[in-house]
C-alpha cells in the first residue's frame, strides 16, 4: 500500500492511505474532452512561444525573482516554483489586502507557475530538487550566497550533474565581496545605490520610488540574462552561473547620473518633478490634481504661455531662451504654478490638445486603469 520511493521507505503521516491515493489520482490524464483551461496550444509553428519547452526551476521568493520567472512563464517556459511547506513564498502572507485567503501581493507576480511544496531541509526534499535540477534548463534562486551550497544545491554541485544548467542567482549585493552576506532588501539597496539620494522634493528629504524599482530592475536584468545564457548554451553546449544583484542593477541604471559624477565630479541632487536643465519641465498642481508639462524648447514654451493665457511671459527678456528660463526659474515657475492651480487637470489637458507640448496628468492608480490607451483587459477563465 505504501510505495517505495528511490530507496527510501515511506512513513505514515497523519493522513490515511486513502487520502494519498486520492492525491495521486489527481493529475491523471483527463478522459473525454479536455477542459478549456488545459487545452494545449497547437504547435503549427506560428503559435510556438519563445521559451516553449524550457523548464525553469524557481527557488526564488518575494519580488525580484518571482517577477523574472513570471515573465519567463509569459514567454512560454514551464516554471516550477519550489516553496517550503506551510508558509510558502513569504508574500503569501503579505496583506491586507487579501482576496479570500490569497494575498493580493502574491497574486500580482506569480501567474504561469506550478507550485511544488518541498522541505529543502529534509534530505529527501533536497534530493527531489537535485533531481529536478538535472532535468531543468534553468534554475533561479535568491538565497544568501552559500546557503544552497550547504544543502547540496549550489552551482558547482548541480553543475556537475547537469553541465548545461543555467544557474541564475539573485542577491542583494552579489555572490562575492564584502557585502555578499547582507540580505537584499529593496529599501536598503535603493539607499546604498544612490537611488534615494536623487529622489524627492527639491528642498526636502530623500524618498524611495513608490514601487520597488530596484527589485524590479533586477528581475528585468535577470530575465534577459537567462535568455542570453540560453542563446550562449547553443553555441557552447554549457550553462553557467549568472550573478544578478540589487546593488549592481540600480547602480547601472544610474546611467547619466553616475556618469556626471565619474567624469565631471558632479554630485546629483533632488529635483522633485523638475528638470535640472530644462524649464518648464515638471509637474504643477492644478485645482484637482497635478499635470506634468515638458516644454523642451522655445516654441513649446510660447505655446504653454498661450494656453495659460500669459502672453506677456513670451515678451519677458528673462524667459526668451531655455538657458534664461533655467537661470530665472524660481520666478517663472511661481507664476506658472499659480496659473495652473486655477483650473482642473482635465481642462488643462483639453486646452493643450493640438499644441506640440507634451503633457500628461499625474494619475492615481484608479485613473491609470481608466486610461483608454491601456489595452482592453484580458480575461482568462
User: Among residue numbers 127 through 146, which ones bind a second copy (CB under 8 A)?
Assistant: none
Residue whose grid cell is 517550503: 84
The cell numbers describing 34, all together, are: 479536455
Q: Does 286 bind a second copy (CB under 8 A)?
A: no
C-alpha cell recorded at residue 85: 511547506
* Contact (CB, 8 A) for 336 and 284: yes
- Regarding 267 and contact with a second copy (CB under 8 A), the answer is yes
* Nearer CB in complex with a second copy: 20/94: 94
For 95-129, letters b (16+ CB in 10 Å) and e give: eeeeeeeebebbeebbebbeeeebebeeeebbbbb
Least distance from a second copy to the Cβ atom of residue 109, Å = 5
Binding a second copy (rule: CB under 8 A), the pick from 122, 236, 318, 334 is: 236
Q: Are 137 and 55 in contact (CB under 8 A)?
A: yes
Nearest-angstrom CA–CA distance, 16 and 13 = 8
For a second copy, the closer of residues 91 and 128 by Cβ is: 91
- Residue 358's Cα: distance from chain center in Å? 27
Indicate the residue among 83 and 186 with the shorter CB distance to a second copy. Answer: 186
- Give 148 or 192: the residue with its C-beta nearer to a second copy: 192
Under rule CB under 8 A, residue 112 binds a second copy: no
Phi, psi of 331 (to 5 degrees): -70, -45
Work out the widest C-alpha separation in the chain, in whole angstroms.
93
List the one residue out of 243, 222, 225, 252 whose CA is nearest residue 175: 243
- The three grid cell numbers given for residue 179, joined into one nine-digit string: 557585502
Return the number of the residue (60 or 218) whose C-beta is nearest a second copy.
218
| Residue choice 60, 69, 142, 282 for contact with a second copy (CB under 8 A) | 282
Select the span of 22-30, 130-138, 146-154, 363-371 touching a second copy (CB under 8 A). Answer: 363-371
List the one residue from 56, 136, 220, 304 that touches a second copy (CB under 8 A): 220
List the one residue out of 267, 282, 270 whose CA is nearest residue 329: 282
Q: In angstroms, what is the minimal distance from the CB of 3 to a second copy?
A: 38
Which helix (H) or strand (E) covers residue 285, if one does?
Answer: strand 281-285
Which of 57, 217, 279, 308 lies at the binding interface for a second copy (CB under 8 A)?
217
How many residues belong to the site for a second copy (CB under 8 A)? 133
Between 60 and 190, whose beta carbon lies closer to a second copy? 190
Return the residues of window 158-197 that contact a second copy according to CB under 8 A.
173-174, 176-180, 182-183, 185, 187-197
> Which residues, numbered 14-53, are part of the site for a second copy (CB under 8 A)?
45-46, 48-52
Q: How far apart are CA 244 and CA 327, in angstroms?
A: 42
> What are the backbone angles phi and psi of residue 218, rounded to the nearest 5°?
-65, -45
Side-chain-facing half-sphere of 368: CA atoms under 13 Å: 4
Q: Does residue number 222 form part of the binding site for a second copy (CB under 8 A)? A: yes
Q: Is 215 a catalytic residue?
A: yes
Question: Binders of a second copy among 237-266, rule CB under 8 A?
Answer: 237-245, 247-249, 251-264, 266
SS3 of 44, please? coil
| Catalytic residue from among 58, 186, 215, 243 | 215
CB of 242 to a second copy, least distance (A): 6
**Which residue(s) pair with 56 in the sheet?**
79, 138
- Residue 66: CB minimum distance to a second copy, A: 9
Active site residues: 215
Amino acid at each position: 500500500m505504501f510505495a517505495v520511493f528511490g530507496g527510501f521507505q515511506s512513513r505514515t503521516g497523519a493522513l490515511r492511505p486513502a487520502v494519498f491515493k486520492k492525491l495521486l489520482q489527481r493529475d491523471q490524464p483527463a478522459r473525454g474532452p479536455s477542459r478549456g483551461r488545459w487545452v494545449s496550444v497547437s504547435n503549427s509553428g506560428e503559435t510556438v512561444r519563445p521559451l516553449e519547452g524550457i523548464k525553469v526551476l524557481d527557488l526564488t521568493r518575494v519580488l525580484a525573482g518571482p517577477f523574472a520567472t513570471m515573465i519567463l512563464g509569459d514567454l512560454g517556459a514551464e516554471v516550477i516554483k519550489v516553496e517550503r511547506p506551510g508558509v510558502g513564498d513569504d508574500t503569501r502572507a503579505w496583506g491586507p489586502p487579501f482576496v479570500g485567503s490569497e494575498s493580493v501581493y502574491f497574486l500580482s507576480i506569480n501567474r504561469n507557475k506550478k507550485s511544488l511544496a518541498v522541505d529543502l531541509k529534509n534530505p529527501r526534499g533536497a534530493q527531489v530538487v537535485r533531481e529536478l535540477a538535472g532535468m531543468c534548463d534553468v534554475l533561479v534562486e535568491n538565497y544568501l550566497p552559500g546557503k544552497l551550497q550547504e544543502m547540496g544545491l549550489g552551482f558547482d554541485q548541480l553543475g556537475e550533474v547537469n553541465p548545461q544548467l543555467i544557474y541564475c542567482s539573485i542577491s542583494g549585493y552579489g555572490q562575492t565581496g564584502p557585502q555578499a552576506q547582507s540580505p537584499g532588501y529593496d529599501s536598503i539597496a535603493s539607499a546604498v545605490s544612490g537611488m534615494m539620494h536623487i529622489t524627492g522634493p527639491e528642498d526636502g528629504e530623500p524618498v524611495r520610488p513608490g514601487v520597488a524599482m530596484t527589485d524590479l530592475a533586477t528581475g528585468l536584468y535577470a530575465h534577459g540574462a537567462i535568455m542570453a545564457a540560453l542563446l550562449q548554451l547553443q553555441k557552447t553546449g554549457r550553462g553557467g552561473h549568472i550573478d544578478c544583484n540589487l546593488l549592481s542593477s540600480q547602480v547601472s541604471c544610474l546611467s547619466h547620473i553616475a556618469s556626471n559624477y565619474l567624469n565631471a565630479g558632479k554630485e546629483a541632487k533632488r529635483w522633485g518633478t523638475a528638470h535640472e536643465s530644462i524649464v518648464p519641465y515638471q509637474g504643477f498642481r492644478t485645482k484637482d490634481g497635478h499635470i506634468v508639462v515638458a516644454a523642451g524648447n522655445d516654441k513649446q514654451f510660447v505655446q504653454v504661455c498661450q494656453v495659460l493665457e500669459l502672453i506677456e511671459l513670451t515678451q519677458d527678456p528673462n524667459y526668451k531662451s531655455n538657458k534664461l528660463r533655467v537661470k530665472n526659474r524660481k520666478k517663472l515657475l511661481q507664476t506658472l504654478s499659480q496659473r495652473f492651480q486655477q483650473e482642473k487637470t482635465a481642462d488643462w489637458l483639453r486646452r493643450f490638445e493640438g499644441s506640440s507640448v507634451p503633457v500628461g496628468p499625474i494619475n492615481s492608480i484608479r485613473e491609470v486603469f481608466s486610461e483608454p490607451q491601456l489595452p482592453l483587459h484580458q480575461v482568462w477563465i
